[in-house]
Amino acid sequence: MTRILIIDGHPAKASFCGALAGEYAKNAEKKGHEVRVRPLSGMDFNPDFGTSSFKDIPPLEPVLQAIWDDITWCQHLVIAYPLWWGGHPAKLKGLFDRVLLPGKAFKYVSGKALPEKMLQGRTAQVLVTSDTPGWFFRWIYGAGTQKQTEKQILSFCGLKPTGYHMFSPIKGSNDDDRSKMLNRAGQLGGKAA
C-alpha cells in the first residue's frame, strides 16, 4: 500500500482536472492505496510569498500547513493542473512558493552550489489538461512547464518524477474523447506507485 496525495491544481471547482484527479484517486483506492485528494479551489491562502529573501517568511495559513503535512505524509504525489499561458495557474504556483520552503523541502549547504533535497524517497506524477495539442506543446513550445515542474520544483526538492501526462486538446473534445482521457487517468491511478 502506498500513501498518495493528489493535488487538484485547478483554481475552479468542477473542472476536468478535478475529474481526472478523481478517476486517478478512485482507481488507486481500488488497488488498496491510501489516497488524499486536496482541491486547490477549496483552499484560502495568500499565494504571494511577499518577501525578497527567505528571511521573515510569512507563517503558513492552516490550509498550507495541512498541505505540507500531507506532502511529508505521502510516498507518491500527484499534481493535476491546467496549462494556462504555458505554465501553472497563479494560485498553484503560489502554493509551491509558500509551501516548498528552505529548511523543509530543501536546505542550502555552505560551499555547495545546489541545495540538499529534503523530500527524497518520494515519487511524483503530473496530469496536465491543455487546449494545446501535446505534439505542439513539446516540439513548438519546448515543454517549458514540464521542465519547470519536473526539474525545478519536484526534483529540486527530491521528489522523483515518474510521468508527465498531457490530456489534450480539451477545447473541441467530445464526450468520447473525454471518456478516453478519464479512463487513461484511471489506468494511471490503478498503476500508481
- Nine cell digits for residue 125: 506524477
191 neighbors 165 (Cβ within 8 angstroms): no
- The helix/strand/coil state of 131 is coil
pLDDT of the residue at 188: 98
pLDDT of the residue at 56: 80
The predicted model gives 41-46 an average pLDDT of: 96
The dihedral region occupied by 153, where left means phi > 0, alpha psi between -120 and 50, and beta the remainder, is alpha
Confidence of residue 26 (pLDDT cuts 50, 70, 90): very high
Asked if pLDDT for residue 53 goes beyond 80, the answer is no
The predicted model gives 113-141 an average pLDDT of: 94
Model pTM?
Answer: 0.95
pLDDT of the residue at 24: 98
Which fold, 3-190?
Answer: Rossmann fold (3.40.50)
Asked if pLDDT for residue 130 goes beyond 90, the answer is yes
pLDDT of the residue at 38: 98
189 neighbors 25 (Cβ within 8 angstroms): yes
Asked if pLDDT for residue 104 goes beyond 90, the answer is yes
The predicted model gives 15-20 an average pLDDT of: 97
Question: What are the sequence ranges of the domains in the chain?
Answer: 3-190
The predicted model gives 57-72 an average pLDDT of: 96
